[in-house]
Amino acid sequence: MRLPRGGAVALALAMMLGASAAAAAASSTDPTGRRTVTLGRSLDGRTITAVETGDLDDPQKTLVVGCIHGNECAGIAVADRLAAAAPPPGLDLWIVPNLNPDGAAAGTRGNAYGVDLNRNFPWNWQPLSGLFYSGPRPLSEPESRIAYRLILHLRPTISIWFHQHLDVVDESGGSLAIERRFATATGMRLARLTREPGSVVGWENHRHSGTAFVVELPAGALSSTAAVRYARAIVSVSRAGAQAR
């Protein structure tokens, strides 16, 4: 059977998640571990991957995306630190270090077509031009579709999307308690930023019962100490989210 490229990615992801569940059911212990999953490719053909780490059969997932705007990629250091740490028992973390590898390679906000991926999602999408070009239609870009399909499959309890350069945790429309806990754990201030049309967290919080929020890191590269602090905060809020449910 020949599938369109996007359909093949979705089918492969569904089969992979199904295989994970079947393996977990066959095991008498929680399958704590780590693995790397290829999600698809960018417009320029760069591989986009996720690292799943922790309790691989836990029904509650945390999704972490280190970079969606190619000129705001300090969050990759947090994602890499989290992925390299010992798998956390009792949590299932899905980490996408870089959703926009073409933009990161070029140092541009948008992808290889100049589309702002964080204006390319279905909820409240609007036709925008210039720096915030939203694409010809919602989910027009392969990178956006990769994230969209992954979220639909995982239905994460918590999603954390790293940006720059405001040094603030955004009240993004999900659980204020989770957002506040993350801000406290990292020493950041909590504030409500503008709700942008076509944003991924806007779509997630509209579409799902979980909570998605933006962390605006400060300008520049993160120190190793800061990356560890943010990684620990992710684990902390993930545990709090699991306990709350």
| pLDDT tens-digit map of 46-91 | 999 999 999 999 999 999 999 999 999 999 999 999 999 999 999 9
In our burial notation (b when 16+ CB lie closer than 10 A, e otherwise), range 6-18 reads eeebbeebeeeee
Report pLDDT for 244: 58
Beta strand extents in 25-90 (DSSP E only): 32-41, 47-55, 61-65
159-164-167-169 Cα dihedral, nearest 10 degrees: -20
Q: Give the span between the Cα atoms of 35 and 13, in whole angstroms.
A: 14
Tokens read off for 41: 């490719």
Q: Dihedrals φ, ψ of 82, to 5°? A: -65, -40
pLDDT of 208 reads 86
pLDDT given at position 2: 33
**pTM, rounded to two decimals:** 0.89
CA–CA dist 20, 31 (Å, integer): 9
Cβ proximity of 79 and 93 under 8 Å = no
* CATH code matching the domain that covers 5-244, chosen among 3.40.50.720, 1.10.10.10, 3.40.50.620, 3.40.630.10: 3.40.630.10
Low-confidence ranges of the chain (pLDDT < 50): 1-11, 15-16, 19-28
Residue boundaries of the structural domains of the chain:
5-244
How much is the pLDDT for 13?
53
Report the pLDDT value the prediction gives residue 245, as an integer from 0 to 100.
Answer: 57
In angstroms, rounded to a whole number, what is the distance separating the alpha carbons of residues 235 and 230?
Answer: 9
What's residue 242's pLDDT?
A: 67
Which one, of 73, 65, 74, lies nearest residue 95 by Cα? 65
Residue 117's pLDDT is 98
107: number of Cβ within 10 Å = 9
**CA dihedral in degrees (85, 45, 124, 17; nearest 10)?**
-50
> What pLDDT shows up at residue 209?
81
d(Cα 236, Cα 183) in Å, to the nearest integer? 11
Orientation angle between helical segments 5-26 and 142-154, nearest 10 degrees: 30
